[in-house]
């Protein structure tokens, strides 16, 4: 019963914008508490991928890219998660949760994707920040 409740709490935390828990320690991870459990949170990264004419990629091409990415993620295990991507004219900006920058670069290398820059996210603002 407790085990099920624990995962319901984790699911709710994820819905509220709190990242996935991660059991190992590391320098970039933040800690939060759920009851008596101390959960370590993995950092989030934005990856800039320079891809000429990215905005003109067809839905089939985007599907192929997504399948390749998901295949590499399955190889790398549960420590890295693709959140979403934003496609612009000549770039794709991807958001990942990972234990470190090196794992993000490893994903790019194994998938054959460019990773022109990888930046850790330290916060998020939106119009409600002004209130």
Residues in contact with 57: Cβ distance below 8 Å, sequence separation at least 6, in sequence order: 51, 65, 87
Burial of 9 (0-12, 13-18, 19+ CB in 10 A): middle
pLDDT tens profile 86-110: 999 999 999 999 999 999 999 999 9
- In 10 A of CB 46, how many CB atoms? 16
In this prediction the pTM is: 0.71
Q: How do residues 17-73 score in pLDDT, each as one tens digit? A: 444 444 444 444 555 556 666 666 889 999 999 999 999 999 999 999 999 999 999
**Which residue segments constitute the domains of the chain, with CATH numbers given?**
2-41 (no CATH), 44-121 (3.30.70.3090)
Angle at 77 between CA 35 and CA 2, to 5 degrees: 25
Structure tokens at 47: 């990856």
For residues 34 and 89, what is the distance between their CA atoms, to the nearest angstrom?
A: 42
pLDDT of 117 above 50: yes
């Amino acid at each position: 019963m407790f085990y099920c409740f624990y995962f319901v709490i984790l699911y709710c935390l994820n819905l509220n914008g709190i990242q996935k828990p991660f059991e190992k320690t590391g320098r970039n991870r933040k800690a939060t508490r759920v009851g008596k459990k101390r959960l370590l949170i993995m950092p989030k990264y934005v990856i800039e991928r320079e891809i000429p004419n990215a905005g003109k990629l067809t839905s089939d091409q985007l599907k192929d890219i997504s399948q390749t990415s998901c295949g590499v993620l399955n190889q790398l295990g549960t420590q890295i998660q693709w959140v979403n991507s934003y496609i612009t004219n000549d770039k794709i900006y991807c958001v990942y949760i990972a234990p470190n920058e090196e794992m993000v670069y490893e994903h790019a290398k194994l998938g054959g994707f460019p990773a022109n820059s990888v930046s850790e996210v330290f916060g998020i603002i939106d119009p409600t920040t002004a209130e």
